[in-house]
């Protein structure tokens, strides 16, 4: 039985966000690179660099934290939820892709044209497997 790389990404990002560390290290695969690229485009991650350690590649990225300077302790946490699991795949056509918080969040889909957000999939009029929600 293989590991769920998408769940590993989500868990590591969630843990780093809860601890307010800022830096997350993710093993580099094609799926993880595409998901991190989407997170970078949507503004959840500040920067990403590829790092090599003993014949393995890792993506080291910095999370973007929204801080309010007037209030010293305000939690603006990043929420991630895995939808489609290896044992239960959830598919949707482009008309039934859910909108997260009325369009404020994003849905990451795996389509026939690659991994993309819900907005891109609606514009291209293609559906696919719903990987995760981010808000």
Residue 36 burial (CB count, 10 A): 20
Give the CA distances from residue 72 to residues 75, 87, 94, in Å, rounded to whole numbers and listed in that order: 10, 43, 42
Write down all domains in the chain, each with its CATH number in brackets.
Answer: 1-67 (3.30.1370.30), 79-134 (3.30.1490.10)
Q: How far apart are CA 117 and CA 111, in angstroms?
A: 10
Condensed to tens digits (0 to 9), the pLDDT of residues 69-116 reads 444 444 567 899 999 999 999 999 999 999 999 989 999 999 999 999
pTM for the predicted model, two decimal places? 0.86
Average pLDDT of the residues of the chain: 90
């Amino acid at each position: 039985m293989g590991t769920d790389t998408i769940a590993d990404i989500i868990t590591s990002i969630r843990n780093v966000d809860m601890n307010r560390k800022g830096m997350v290290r993710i093993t580099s695969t094609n799926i993880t690179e595409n998901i991190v690229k989407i997170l970078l485009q949507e503004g959840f991650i500040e920067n990403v660099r590829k790092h090599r350690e003993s014949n393995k590649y890792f993506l080291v990225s910095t999370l973007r934290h929204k801080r309010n300077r007037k209030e010293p302790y305000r939690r603006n946490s990043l929420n991630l939820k895995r939808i489609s699991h290896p044992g239960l795949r959830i598919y949707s056509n482009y008309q039934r892709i859910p909108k997260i918080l009325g369009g404020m969040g994003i849905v990451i889909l795996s389509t026939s044209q690659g991994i993309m957000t819900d907005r891109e999939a609606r514009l291209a009029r293609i559906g696919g497997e719903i990987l995760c929600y981010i808000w």
